[in-house]
Amino acid sequence: MEKFLTECAQSIIDGNAEKSAELARMALDDKHPVLEVINKGFVKGIREVGRLWEEGAMFLPELVMGAEAMKEAMTVLQPVLEEDAAGKSAAGHVVIGTIEGDIHDIGKTLVATMLSANGFEITDLGADVPVVRFVDEAVEKGAGCIAISALLTTTMSGQKKVIEELESRSVRDKISVMVGGAPCNDDWAKEIGADGYAGNAVAAVQLAKRLTGA
């Protein structure tokens, strides 16, 4: 078992999506405990990928390939997890998008990819997303967190509007808000009453974990 788990982790570190999917299927065939395979195998791998990237030992293409391998493995394991109610959505649900009027989506997509690879269920609304849509989707999907990207000084005020919308619908205490993008920083997050800011995709994962208690 130990060896199998190490192999699972390694497939993610190698960014080998074929291998990770195969291992996931093997885990099901051999009736290994799914949660253990995820947490002690694949998740360990994606954590290592994040660490290696932060250290500068791994570059973005490998980071994204690791995330893709993770996605493949999870696609295989997800249906079984969902039967097993205790394991549902290991880390929580995040609704993410780039705010209204803003079409910069490269950073947002990277953040979404990394969150997804780290076990978050993701609803990616894309770019140029109206304020109310963030809230509508989050309420409808029962998401615990909204992640808003803004790259323009003219659009960042939209992040604040999302928070106001949450307040006006009295759901602010149920849904945490994280913000990011070039013009944002910690001070801005504080000013608008967001729950946190992160400057890159790996930091965004740590932040999301902190906010959702995952």
Partner 1 sequence: MSIIPRVTWFTEEDRKRVVAEAVEILEKIGVFVENDEAIELLSGAGARVDRDKGRVFIPASMVEKAVGSAPSRILVYNRHGEPVMDLGEDRIHFNPGSAALRIYDHKKKKTRTPMTADLVRFSALTDALPNYAAQSTGIVSGDVPEEIGDRYRVYIALQNSVKPVVTGTFLIDAFRVMHEMLATVAGDQGALAEKPMAIFDCCPSPPLKWSDLTCQALIDCARTGLPAELVSMPLTGATSPVTLSGAVVQHAAESLSGVVIHQLAKAGAPIIYGGSPACFDMRKGTTPMGAVETMMIDGAYAEIGKHLGLPTQAYMALSDSKRVDYQAGMESAMGAAVAALSGINNVSGPGMLDFESCQSLEKLVLDHEIAGMALRLTRGIAFRDDPIALPLIEAALEKKEFLSLPHTAKWYREEAYFPNAVIDRSTLEEWESKGGLDATARASERVEKLLSDHEPEPLDDAVRAHLTELMERDAKRYGMDKLPVT
Q: Which of 20, 155, 159, 176 binds partner 1 (CB under 8 A)?
A: 155
Is 201 among the residues that bind partner 1 (CB under 8 A)? yes
Is 99 among the residues that bind partner 1 (CB under 8 A)? no
> For ligand B12, which is the closer residue by CB, 72 or 105?
105
Tokens of 80: 């079984």
Polymer length of the chain: 214
CB 154 within 8 A of CB 181: no
Task: Give the interface size with ligand B12 as a residue count (CB under 6 A).
Answer: 28
> For ligand B12, which is the closer residue by CB, 20 or 116?
116
CB 77 within 8 A of CB 27: yes
CB 109 within 8 A of CB 124: yes
Is 130 among the residues that bind ligand B12 (CB under 6 A)? no
Is 10 among the residues that bind partner 1 (CB under 8 A)? no
CA distance 107 to 201: 8
Place of tokens 């078992």: 1
148's contact among ligand B12, partner 1, none, with CB below 5 to 8 A by partner kind, is ligand B12
Q: Which of 182, 185, 188, 209 binds ligand B12 (CB under 6 A)?
A: 182
CA distance 187 to 184: 8
The packing angle between helices 43-55 and 106-117, to 10°, is 140
Site residues for ligand B12, window 87-106 (CB under 6 A)?
A: 101-106
Is 151 among the residues that bind ligand B12 (CB under 6 A)? yes
Residues in contact with ligand B12 by the rule CB under 6 A: 101-108, 110-111, 147-149, 151-153, 178-183, 198-201, 204, 207
